[in-house]
A = this chain, B = another copy of it.
Amino acid sequence: MNFHPITIKDIAKALGLSVSTVSKALRGSHEISQETKNNVLAYAREHNYKPNPIAQSLKRGRSKSIGVIVCNIDNNFFSQVINGIESVARQKDYNIIITQSRESYEREVTNSLHLSARSVDGMIVSLSAETRNVDHFANLYKKGLPIVFFDRVTDEIDTHKVIANNFKGAYEATRHLLEQGFRRIAHITSSLSLSITLERLQGYKQALTDAGLEPDQHYIKLCQHGGMIQEETRQALTELLQLEHRPDAIFTASDRLSTTTLSLLRQMKIAVPGEIALVGFTNSISADIFNPSLTAVVQPALEMGQQIMDLLIQLIESKRPVTSFEKRVLETELKIRDSSLHP
């Protein structure tokens, strides 16, 4: 099962040169005569020579590959971000290695170790819902591995970050529900350890406050697993429905929570928006064919991916240590559909 791709050594032998001459010629060094260069390049092209990236990695300590850790690729938001990352990576000749934490802290840790062991030149990370401690990233980062966080970020590591304007997105979603005349607006969200959870929760609360309403803890439900476990969401929803003053609207804070909640409401034969209106934070490309079509806070995922990769490449290719970091905040868009319209 062995490949025998042509190597520098083969070229050297064929042309009666030394490997170093060939190596230099291939890289266009000006200490090599034009004639030799031409010969080498012609031979290389003809025999389809490709430098062995493994050997290059070993030698240079850089692999021209970057690792991505997200909770789940099976999610339009993340797959769109990845598409953005990939489009830039492709231009700059980086490979990306995608891994999933599936919201598990343990898998996040092992993935990060695997990737660093594979000498990725940098990492792009959105934290898992279970993660309370980011030492695994802090350690890598301290050793010099460039990391860019996005979406679910941490304050504990000072590096570039790219997020959506979660506060404003949540604020607008909630205000929209208020404008539609809903008053008892519940919020189903993920683990409080996630930055997005806090930011969206703040936006939700602020909108209520600005409308003269008091946020009510009973209307706020946390799902530690971010909707990955349907039973957890069912439990949250059931509790909301059993409240003395049942909510007349729900604002869900993530893709999976939104679809799961809608699915559960339908199973429970609760009319949406008739009995309960719904707005979700989601990039689902199918939101318009949901029943009812789902009003959604949409993030500019593709653009986020591009900016993330731009920033990471900046870190990787910077000659001198980078000391000043930015947190880019991209605006969301509220797509109003049927699920939030007042009956």
Contact = CB atoms under 8 A, between A and B. Distances in A.
Interface of A: 1-4, 50, 52-55, 57-58, 61, 63, 65, 72-74, 76, 79-80, 82-83, 86, 95, 97-98, 100, 113-114, 116-119, 143-146, 259, 262-263, 266, 284-286, 288-293, 316
A114 B52 CA distance: 11
Nearest to A286: B259
Given A54-B118, A58-B54, A146-B1, A286 B288 contact: no
A113 B10 CA distance: 20
Contact of A285 (B52, B63, B259, B266): B259
Nearest to A77: B74
Given A57-B54, A74-B79, A97-B97, A145 B289 contact: no
A143 B61 CA distance: 28
Given A3-B144, A119-B54, A293 B291 contact: yes
Q: How many copies does the complex hold?
A: 2
Contact of A144 (B2, B63, B114): B2
A81 B144 CA distance: 35
B54 A2 contact: no
A289 B146 CA distance: 41
Given A58-B58, A259-B289, A290-B291, A95 B73 contact: no
Given A53-B117, A290-B290, 13 more contacts: A1-B145, A3-B145, A53-B119, A54-B57, A55-B58, A73-B82, A74-B76, A74-B79, A74-B83, A259-B285, A262-B289, A266-B289, A291-B292
10 contacts: A1-B144, A1-B146, A52-B117, A53-B117, A74-B76, A74-B285, A95-B118, A259-B286, A262-B289, A291-B293
B3 A118 contact: no
B143 A3 contact: yes
Contact of A288 (B2, B97, B114, B266): B266
A244 to B, nearest CB: 28
Contacts of A285: 74, 259
Given A144-B3, A259-B289, A54 B63 contact: yes
Contacts of A74: 73, 76, 79-80, 83, 285
Nearest to A284: B286
Given A74-B79, A263-B289, A291-B290, A61 B3 contact: yes
Q: Which of A57, A82, A290 is most buried by chain B, counting CB atoms within 10 A of its CB?
A: A57
Contact of A73 (B79, B144, B263, B316): B79
